[in-house]
Copies of this chain bind each other. A is one copy, B any other.
Amino acid sequence: MEDIQNKKGDFDFKIDKVGVENIQHPFYIKKKDGNVIETIATYSMAVSLEKYFKGINMSRLPIILSELYTDKWYMKDYKNDTKFILNRICNKLESQDSCLNINFKYFLPKNAPVSQIQGLMPYECNIEGTLNKEKNNFDMILTVEIPITTLCPCSKAISEYSAHNQRGYVVVSIRYNDEIYIEDLISMVEENGSCELYPILKRVDEKYVTEKAYENPRFVEDIVRLVAKKLYEDDKITWFKISSHHQESIHPHDAYAVIEITK
């Protein structure tokens, strides 16, 4: 059977990435508390292709996922485990470069602030890794999206009573050099909103969050600066990018802000 992909020749250009994307697949990950949760991820996996090769053996990429699943593999150390998969991709596809993107939902139990009733909070997370074996270059970015309440300081200052508020989404991406958990990034953000969000709130809790948000007004500018401060002061973090996106309750469009810092 002819093997066109493995034909050699001069195909003019090296390809930076070639692979598969939009793979829906289960994903197991260990939480900070040590428990492993089963969630679902959207994966993309790719390699580079030198200009003297016609194509890659694409089917080997989903086979790697399938093997990890059969082995009941789960992610415990984000960086080492990402590197482990990247190495396997390089080896199986005989390429010097590999990249991997895992986009997944993550759930954490969260208690209402007064009644203490527990529910599960969903967070969107992303792990993006790249490896160049030749140069031994490995890079990984961890991203978490955290929803918060944001209450407008201007609206509060100029109005006789009340202030417009809304759901905002803070997206934090980091590079880091020591152990950091998704849970840590969530804490750094949630303590800096006008208030945290909760999956379940009784009336005593609703009074609490309403008043707390009013006591902590935050512009979109304030949110990214406050979170930047937390990330800046954490020595384990070497680079970060924060953006915050507020679903303005008085406008049909959103407000946003971005800070990116390499330490």
A interface with B by C-beta (< 8 Å): 1-5, 11-26, 38-40, 44, 46, 49, 54-56, 58-59, 62-63, 65-66, 69-70, 105, 107, 117-122, 147, 149-155, 157-167, 195, 197-204, 206-207, 209-211, 213-214, 219-221, 224-225, 228-229, 232, 245, 247-261
Contacts and interface: CB of A to CB of B under 8 A. Distances in A.
A17 B149 contact: no
A256 B18 contact: yes
Nearest to A217: B4
Contacts of A259: 13-16
B211 A161 contact: yes
10 contacts: A11-B221, A15-B258, A18-B256, A18-B258, A25-B107, A26-B39, A44-B256, A59-B200, A152-B206, A213-B249
A202 B261 CA distance: 32
Contact of A15 (B65, B225, B250): B225
Nearest to A1: B158
For A23, A162, A195, A232, the residue with the greatest tally of chain B CB atoms inside 10 Å of its CB is: A162
A165 B164 contact: yes
Nearest to A66: B119
B151 A66 contact: no
Contacts of A198: 250-251
Contact of A24 (B12, B161, B225, B252): B252
B105 A40 contact: yes
Contacts of A203: 1, 3, 154, 158
A196 to B, nearest CB: 9
Contact of A157 (B4, B56, B165, B254): B4
- Counting from the closest, the 3 A-B pairs by CB-CB distance are A162-B214, A24-B122, A18-B257
Nearest to A14: B259
Contact of A200 (B63, B163, B199): B63
B58 A255 contact: yes
B201 A119 contact: no
A19 B255 contact: yes
Given A1-B207, A2-B158, A21-B256, 20 more contacts: A4-B157, A12-B225, A13-B232, A14-B259, A15-B221, A15-B259, A16-B260, A19-B257, A21-B253, A21-B254, A21-B255, A24-B252, A40-B105, A58-B255, A59-B202, A62-B200, A66-B118, A164-B209, A164-B213, A201-B250
B159 A2 contact: no
A15 B227 CA distance: 12
